[in-house]
């Protein structure tokens, strides 16, 4: 028997109520409890969800590459302002420099000093290359071991960038050649490699820069040793932080270096003292396993106490011998490029002009002279040759501490 019509209306009402409740639960489930609480605090209801016509921000983890090309990118809301062309430089407890930043600063400041007649060139500075010693008050050495981090922080205050400036043909674009130096005395005395000043180039100005980007012209050479490749020079600065000099470092001693290889400024490397050897001029050299490269010349080598045990000088690449079983290995030394080849060297810094190392034993000269270039095989290792601290001390007549 058919049901009366009034009994059908409650069934439709219940179905409609159930549908509304399901829809509310479905949309409310998209929000977390925290979001629901925040929405209620702002006077919003759970039903206030974005409609299909409103733009919805994509999840942060979504890949931008997966977005269809026809869809307009939706900017993500953020508290930060739009970036300007100049990046924001954050303050850090260690130096961070850009290559162009340093080169532009050195070229601009050096050009001003040269124009004002305050910066000297190589030719004028070389007049004092015959000075053999000078009198200095050295820093007192400590007796406690220093960690790598603490040493780096301390060394950055005493390690400088040496810049030789060469005037361009238009008298505006300056070329640069960089090396390393470190403070020996607080009244403005620094040490670097002698070949930084005594070479085939003729720099128009020689300046130095510290970690705070203060630039000083080199005023004079105080003492030098060409054979040992070390020298002392002065800048017009006071209250510098000198590095203490050690007495000697035995093979196996920790060797740590802070220098500027390849325009990578204040670069730290570590290793050990490998051995000592003498060249054909009976000059003593110290080899280390700590890494360095072009631009590191003059950099300090530290021991575990933070004392200077040597100074970066040069590298030799060891190549295997020829096809003969008893052929001698050959060490090839990199030689600084003259000024007329500087442009080519900047294009290919990894291919310096090379010259064979002079043999230390009589009789090897003839063997090297007869050796065919084709016999030089694969490179095997690189010797990192440094000036031992004894040679540095040979330039200094120590004053008694006040």
At 166-222, the pLDDT tens digits run: 987 666 788 999 999 999 999 999 999 999 999 888 899 999 999 999 999 999 999
Tokens at 107, concatenated: 């070229």
Cα dist. 61→50, 74, 81 in Å? 20, 14, 22
pLDDT at 351 over 50: no
pLDDT at 372 over 80: no
Residue 92's pLDDT is: 82
Tokens at 177, concatenated: 């050649």
pLDDT at 83 over 60: no
Answer yes or no: are the C-beta atoms of 183 and 158 closer than 8 Å.
yes
Distance from C-alpha of 109 to C-alpha of 161, rounded to nearest angstrom? 14
**For residue 179, which of 291, 293, 298 has the smallest C-alpha distance?**
298
Instruction: Specify the higher pLDDT residue, 227 or 89.
Output: 227
Rg (CA), the chain: 34
Residue 180's pLDDT is: 98
Say how many C-beta atoms besides its own lie within 10 A of residue 14's C-beta.
Answer: 10
Query: In this prediction, what percent of the chain has a pLDDT beyond 70?
Result: 65
Q: Mind listing the domains of the chain with CATH numbers?
A: 99-135+142-315+385-398 (2.40.10.120)
**For residue 305, which of 254, 342, 344, 269 has the smallest C-alpha distance?**
254
Answer yes or no: are the C-beta atoms of 163 and 104 closer than 8 Å.
no
Is the pTM for the entire model greater than 0.75?
Answer: no
Distance from C-alpha of 230 to C-alpha of 232, rounded to nearest angstrom? 7
Burial class of residue 129 in the structure, from the number of CB atoms within 10 Å of its CB (0-12 exposed, 13-18 middle, 19+ buried): middle
Please, which pLDDT band fits residue 332 given cuts at 50, 70 and 90? confident
pLDDT at 265 over 70: yes
Answer yes or no: are the C-beta atoms of 178 and 260 closer than 8 Å.
yes
């Amino acid at each position: 028997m058919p049901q009366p019509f009034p009994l059908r209306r409650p069934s439709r009402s219940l179905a409609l109520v159930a549908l509304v409740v399901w829809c509310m639960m479905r949309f409310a489930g998209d929000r977390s409890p925290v979001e629901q609480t925040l929405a209620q605090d702002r006077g919003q209801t759970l039903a206030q969800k974005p409609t299909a016509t409103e733009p919805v921000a994509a999840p942060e983890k979504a890949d931008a590459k997966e977005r269809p090309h026809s869809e307009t990118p939706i900017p993500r809301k953020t508290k930060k302002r739009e970036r300007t062309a100049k990046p924001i430089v954050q303050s850090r407890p260690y130096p961070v420099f850009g290559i162009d930043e340093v080169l532009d600063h050195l070229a601009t400041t050096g050009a001003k000093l040269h124009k004002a007649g305050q910066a000297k060139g190589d030719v004028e500075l070389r007049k004092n290359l015959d000075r053999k010693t000078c009198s200095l008050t050295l820093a007192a050495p400590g007796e406690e071991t220093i960690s790598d981090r603490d040493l780096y922080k301390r060394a950055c205050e005493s390690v400088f960038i040496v810049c030789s400036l060469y005037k361009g043909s238009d008298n505006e674009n300056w070329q640069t050649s960089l090396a390393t130096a470190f403070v020996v005395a607080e009244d403005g005395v620094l040490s670097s490699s002698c070949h930084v000043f005594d070479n085939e180039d003729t720099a128009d100005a020689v300046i130095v820069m510290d970690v705070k980007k203060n630039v000083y012209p080199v005023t004079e050479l105080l003492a030098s040793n060409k054979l040992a490749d070390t020298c002392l020079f002065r800048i017009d600065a006071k209250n510098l932080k000198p590095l203490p000099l050690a007495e000697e470092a035995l093979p196996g001693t920790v060797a740590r270096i802070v220098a500027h290889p390849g325009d990578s400024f204040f670069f730290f490397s570590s290793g050990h003292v490998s051995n000592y050897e003498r060249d054909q001029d009976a000059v003593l050299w110290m080899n280390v396993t700590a890494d360095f490269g072009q631009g590191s010349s003059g950099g300090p080598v530290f021991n575990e106490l933070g004392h200077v045990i040597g100074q970066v000088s040069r590298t030799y690449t060891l190549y295997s011998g020829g096809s003969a079983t008893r052929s001698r290995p050959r060490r090839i030394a990199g030689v600084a490029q003259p000024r007329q080849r500087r442009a080519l060297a900047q294009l290919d810094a990894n291919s310096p002009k090379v010259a064979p190392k002079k043999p230390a034993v009589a009789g090897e000269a003839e063997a090297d002279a007869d050796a065919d270039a084709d016999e030089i095989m694969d490179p095997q290792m690189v010797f990192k040759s440094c000036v031992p601290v004894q040679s540095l001390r040979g330039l200094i007549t120590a004053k008694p501490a006040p």
